[in-house]
Structure 1
Amino acid sequence: MSSSPLSLAVIGGGQLARMMQQAAIGLGVHIRLLAEGPDVSAAQVIPDHFVGDYTDIDDLRRAAEGSGVVTFDHEHVPPEHLRTLESEGHVPRPGPGALIHAQDKITMRTKLRELGVPSPRWSVMASVEDVVAFGLPCVLKTPRGGYDGKGVWLVRCEADAAEALAAEAVLAEELVDFRREISAQVARRPSGESVAYVVVESRQENGVCKEVIAPAPDLAEDLSAQAQQIAFDVAEALDVTGMLAVELFETSDGRLLVNEFAMRPHNTGHWTIDGAETSQFENHLRGVLDLPLGPSTPSARWSVMYNVLGGAVEELEAQVRTVLEAVPEAHIHLYGKAVKPGRKVGHLTVTGDDLEGVLAQARRAGSLLQDG
């Protein structure tokens, strides 16, 4: 592949990379993909791909060769490898100095404390006695690698604490009394230009995001503005390029506390494909390639995104006709993944002017696609 300002290496072959390709086609961006296997989600739609290991520096070099920029489907590339790529003249975006805050929760919490960003009370634990002294009940997390509820323990007693610590969950956080979870997303380019999407509400089921409502219903204007400003401040302070998603708790007493964040397109932003003037995937590409960012304005009053998890329907493609006959307004996005119980295998979005109607349509379509 010849070097071009509109060439991009993407590390990781999941559904985020797959949806980056959807945006790349319109922009004329050429993507080279480092995939985990020949049939992973993104490899099915990106012709220029090869199978390799994102922890192998030579595979990363091969992906980066001839590419203007390197970006990511996930946060797990070793930071020392990213620094090596930088030293050799490649351009990871976000860079290792930013990405480490999405890779390591203790590093993230330490930086947020330095920045004065509101967060749950937290501390690093070395023993069950430390956990008891911190205060029960609480939440224990592994610093690295957790997602979708994995690597997280609700600790109510000493036995729970011992189990979590044995699994290397050493980050303790207070158990927050929250009303709901919300997410603020911004896109930023190296020149410093940034745009914010409307703040959304995310609803969880068994630790996994089940549906997202954009914008978050009945969110006070001052809290919405505060959430967006937190995202802007974090992006600026950490020099994030591309998309940043900041997940927050809206507490029962009306405060916002940062839970986690991701420096890539995020599940809570999938609604933007069908519900915003510029999708999070296009603005991620624009951001990391230092192109002018697109408007983030919603294109509908309400958007509801419904995550399709592995359920009773095994042949999702065969079920599409049934779903669209019942809910023609549904915009379906399948990830090309084998169906396994609880696995994210697709999502769909419904937009409209009436929230209750949009919610009902999204849930009906999602149920039909997932369970028949």
Structure 2
Amino acid sequence: MTRVAVVGGGQLARMMAPAATAMGVTLRVLVESTEASAALAAHETVVGLPGDADAIRSLLAEPRPDVITWEHEHIPLEVFALAAEMGVAARPGASALLFARDKIAMRERLDSLGLPMPAWRTVETEDEVEAFLAVHGGVGVLKTSMGGYDGKGVRIVRNPAEVDDWLAAAADGGPPLLIEEKVAYDREVAIQVARRPSGEMRAWPLVESIQVDGVCAEVIAPAPELSSALQAEAERIGRLVATELDVTGVLAVEMFDVGGRLLINELAMRPHNSGHWSIEGSVTSQFEQHLRAVLDWPLGDTSTLAPVTVMANVLGGSREDLATAWPGVADPSVKVHLYGKGVRTGRKVGHVTCMGQRVDDVRRRAAEAADWIRDGGAA
């Protein structure tokens, strides 16, 4: 039987399980505990952390998986060495993941490819921050080069003295820092592309993502008023990144739309929050496609199944028992996905998906359902 090993026990690995089951693939997941989100859904589990060599050996033990893949980018290099030693293909590889893990390496590589990005530079001193602000309207976005996600590791800067603590931490051995121009964008968008080792690629429609406090709250697919030219440019960028960085599996390229001009913001080399809509809204979900891609199987059709699909995240709120709350959602067409995670304010604990004809109507229905599950609001 075909077997895929996954490092990471969160909701992304959890949502691979139904797709794996449907395709006759056994999903073996490295989870941090028996209560982890993916532990409740995977076919086989190994408890341990990515830095634990014994746990990785168990993950790759007989019956040996055909491939090992990831639900996050922060994979120790020793994991790749062990996979090579035990004869298991690692996809995407370490050389590709570097560019999703290290923002400075990513910016340098994308610059070399001539791809559009906000202006940026590395910084080590207040003087360097001040010099950047002086030529970019007096405001910038300071980022840690590694470890940031969901708004963490990002700070808006208007005065160099505001970042003394981060500069000191970097000088003391912490991740290096970079600063970027604060882009006045019209909206945030994302393109997802899947690529298999043999080179076949498929792209989904460009989507719009709405962020609240640095966390994705909502995704609209396709992005409203999406022109064929903008879709073509987004696909060009996604395919070029996937090819030149040798990505295998699903790649998400998050971008700013500035009057029809796209600027790359972030990369993720795995299923991504911006693609959860595809479970119901596309012929092939991002989770099925990721498994197909890393196994080097033919890729599935990425056509949409409705004019509009909206995914709304359920972020932790006042309810603690979400499993008993969701049946109270009044709209029977809403699809509810809960991640089996403990509720904490602002934490992603699930999402809902709605499909329909009109953007405003579908957004309203999705938001009402997510609100009901989170806090018991009207649905």
Q: TM tier, shorter chain?
A: over 0.9
Name the SS of the counterpart of 2:271 in structure 1.
coil
Matched, 1:18 2:17: no
Matched, 1:283 2:285: no
Matched with 1:146 is 148
Aligned-pair CA distance for 1:330: 0.6
Matched with 1:28 is 24
Q: Which amino acid aligns with 2:159?
A: C
Matched, 1:208 2:215: yes
Pick closer, same or farther for the CA change 1:119–1:80 going to 2, 3 Å: farther
What does the per-residue CA deviation read over 1:269-323, in whole Å, with 9 as the maximum and x for residues that have no partner? 0000010000000000000001111000001110000000000111101111111
Contact kept? 1:83, 1:96, Cα under 8 Å: no
What does the per-residue CA deviation read over 1:331-352, in whole Å, with 9 as the maximum and x for residues that have no partner? 0000001110000000010001
In 2, the alpha carbon distance for the partners of 1:308 and 1:164 equals 31
Name the SS of the counterpart of 1:178 in structure 2.
coil
Aligned-pair CA distance for 1:211: 0.2
Aligned residues between the structures: 365
In 1, the alpha carbon distance for the partners of 2:78 and 2:132 equals 33
In 2, the alpha carbon distance for the partners of 1:91 and 1:12 equals 17
Deviates more, 1:150-159 or 1:80-89: 80-89
Name the SS of the counterpart of 2:360 in structure 1.
helix
Deviates more, 1:16-25 or 1:77-86: 77-86
Name the SS of the counterpart of 1:308 in structure 2.
strand
Identity rate, percent? 50
Matched, 1:332 2:333: no
Contact kept? 1:140, 1:164, Cα under 8 Å: no
Deviates more, 1:228-237 or 1:152-161: 152-161
Contact kept? 1:309, 1:344, Cα under 8 Å: yes
Aligned-pair CA distance for 1:181: 0.3
Matched, 1:292 2:294: no
Matched, 1:273 2:271: no
Matched with 1:89 is 87
Q: Among residues 36, 50, 61, which one is paired with 2:46 in the alignment? A: 50
In 2, the alpha carbon distance for the partners of 1:63 and 1:291 equals 22
Please give the TM-score of this superposition, normalised by the length of structure 2.
0.94
Contact kept? 1:142, 1:151, Cα under 8 Å: yes
Contact kept? 1:13, 1:34, Cα under 8 Å: yes
In 1, the alpha carbon distance for the partners of 2:50 and 2:269 equals 17
Contact kept? 1:276, 1:299, Cα under 8 Å: yes
Question: Which blocks of at least 5 consecutive residues in structure 2 are unaligned?
Answer: 171-175
Q: Among residues 261, 278, 303, which one is paired with 1:255 in the alignment? A: 261
Aligned-pair CA distance for 1:85: 2.5
Contact kept? 1:213, 1:304, Cα under 8 Å: yes
In 2, the alpha carbon distance for the partners of 1:13 and 1:199 equals 28
Q: Among residues 128, 131, 154, which one is paired with 2:129 in the alignment? A: 131
Deviates more, 1:156-165 or 1:195-204: 156-165
In 2, the alpha carbon distance for the partners of 1:308 and 1:167 equals 34
Aligned-pair CA distance for 1:159: 2.2
Contact kept? 1:243, 1:263, Cα under 8 Å: yes
Please give the TM-score of this superposition, normalised by the length of structure 1.
0.96
Q: Which amino acid aligns with 1:370?
A: R
Matched, 1:104 2:102: yes
Name the SS of the counterpart of 1:224 in structure 2.
helix
Aligned-pair CA distance for 1:88: 4.3
Name the SS of the counterpart of 1:239 in structure 2.
coil
Q: Among residues 335, 354, 362, which one is paired with 1:350 in the alignment? A: 354
Name the SS of the counterpart of 2:202 in structure 1.
strand
Runs of 4+ in structure 1 off by over 4 angstroms are: none
Aligned-pair CA distance for 1:119: 0.7
Name the SS of the counterpart of 2:165 in structure 1.
helix
In 2, the alpha carbon distance for the partners of 1:197 and 1:55 equals 34
Matched with 1:78 is 76
Contact kept? 2:46, 2:58, Cα under 8 Å: no
Matched with 2:4 is 8
Name the SS of the counterpart of 2:280 in structure 1.
helix
Contact kept? 2:326, 2:372, Cα under 8 Å: no
Matched with 1:359 is 363
Contact kept? 2:309, 2:353, Cα under 8 Å: yes
Contact kept? 1:79, 1:100, Cα under 8 Å: no
Matched with 1:183 is 190
